[in-house]
Amino acid sequence: MAGSSYGTLFRFTTWGESHGAGLGVVIDGCPAGLPLSEEDIMPYMERRRPNGGRLSTKRNEADQIEILSGVFEGKTTGTPISMMVRNTDQHSRDYGNLASVYRPGHADYGYDAKFGFRDYRGGGRSSGRETLARVAAGAVACKALAELGISFDTKVTAIGGHPMGPEAEAYVDQCRSEKDSTGSEVICCVHGVPAGIGDPVFDKLDARLAQAIFSIGAVKGLDIGDGHLVSRARGSENNDSFRMVNGVVTPVTNHAGGILGGISTGADIVLHVYFKPTPSIARPQETITSGHEDTEIEIHGRHDPVIGPRAAVVVEAMTSATIIDAMLINMSAKMDSVRKFYEK
């Protein structure tokens, strides 16, 4: 299966299925000498795993990460970093009635049309559980970026159109009671990315971020900076002016979300990400069987009523992996940089 690897210099490949023995990731291209341990990864895994609260599923996976290679005496060695999480709470029997039925809103039909086969136990590779491997890779990327003074502020901003707070939680409760689900919005702000990161034309930083974010299964929309709102603005309103502040080039506003011409401006990179409602709902839905016969389905089991709260860290992971990759590539953009690195 193509499509399980991402990145150029900082490149990672995820593997495994939601109801297999486990899932994992192999990172190639992480520089040697980065302090790294399982304790560095686990806070990110905790942000992704369900907490049993009003906004998540009751599924109880420990999601304990194991570093299998690429780290020695607490530091990366420059060789491939392999990490895995063993599955411990699979209820494959919950999916037995889906073996010959395509779930609305899921990738079932597309997978069957492409491969002539699908793993109906939670969706296999298309399951949201695959994202834990991305989060592990993103944790390493975040650790490397922190060494360069780059940080993240990522959070859910709205659920079902309601700003986060009691009203949003009450709306989730209402959806649950009606055997339904809801969409959500996440914002990711990246602080400290220097100007000059990214490449023109086809490898623009915003284009690569779009690929990274849209690779997250439930994402259906992305705005960078003002995003789609720029279509309603005038040039005089949308242009970000520059001024000097303490000898530093500083954008006065940030409608562009920190990227112009595909290259970072030094302002915060701001991503607004829009998630569709969780497709697994327990109310009757019209669908077809694998034999192309009309039928009806109700999906039972343990499913999140809303995706955003657990997916925010996935957005951060894919963003961090994209930025560290672009920064490593950027080291060869100027002859002066190459000469400085190799001069004796």
Per-residue pLDDT of the chain (344 residues; tens, 9 = 90+): 689 999 999 999 999 988 888 999 999 999 999 999 999 999 999 999 887 667 776 666 679 999 999 999 999 999 999 999 999 876 555 566 778 899 999 999 988 888 888 888 777 788 889 999 999 999 999 999 999 999 999 999 999 999 999 999 999 999 999 999 999 999 999 999 999 999 999 999 999 999 999 999 999 999 999 999 999 999 999 999 999 999 999 999 999 999 999 999 999 999 999 999 999 999 999 999 999 999 999 888 778 999 999 999 999 999 999 999 999 999 999 999 999 999 97
Q: How far apart are CA 331 and CA 123, in angstroms?
A: 40
What residues make up the domain containing 146?
5-342
Six token digits for residue 48: 């992704």
Q: Which residue's structure tokens are 């079902």? A: 160
Q: Residue 49: name the closest of 60, 38, 40, 39 by CA.
A: 60
CA 334, 336, 341, 342 dihedral sign is: positive
Do the Cβ atoms of 238 and 251 come closer than 8 Å? Answer: no
The helix/strand/coil state of 28 is: strand
Full-model pTM: 0.94
Amino acid letter for position 84? M
Domains of the chain: total: 1
Q: How far apart are CA 216 and CA 71, in angstroms?
A: 28
Burial 123-136 (b: 16+ CB within 10 A, else e): bbbbbbbbbbbbbb
Do the Cβ atoms of 251 and 240 come closer than 8 Å? Answer: yes
Burial label, 320 (beta-carbon count in 10 A; 0-12, 13-18, 19+): buried
Q: How many CB atoms lie within 10 A of CB 326?
A: 24
Do the Cβ atoms of 159 and 168 come closer than 8 Å? Answer: yes
The size of the chain, in residues, is 344
CA 167 and chain centroid, separation: 26
- Residue 54, domain CATH: 3.60.150.10
Determine the pLDDT at residue 119.
81
Burial label, 115 (beta-carbon count in 10 A; 0-12, 13-18, 19+): exposed
Provide DSSP, 205-254: HHHHHHHHHHTSTTEEEEEETTGGGGGGS-HHHH---EEEETTEEEES--
Do the Cβ atoms of 255 and 225 come closer than 8 Å? Answer: yes
Six token digits for residue 1: 């299966």
Q: How far apart are CA 106 and CA 301, in angstroms?
A: 15
The helix/strand/coil state of 74 is: coil
Looking at the chain, the number of H-run helices and the number of E-run strands are 8, 18
Q: Cβ neighbours of residue 190 under 8 Å, at least 6 residues apart?
A: 150, 151, 152, 258, 268, 269, 270, 271, 319, 323
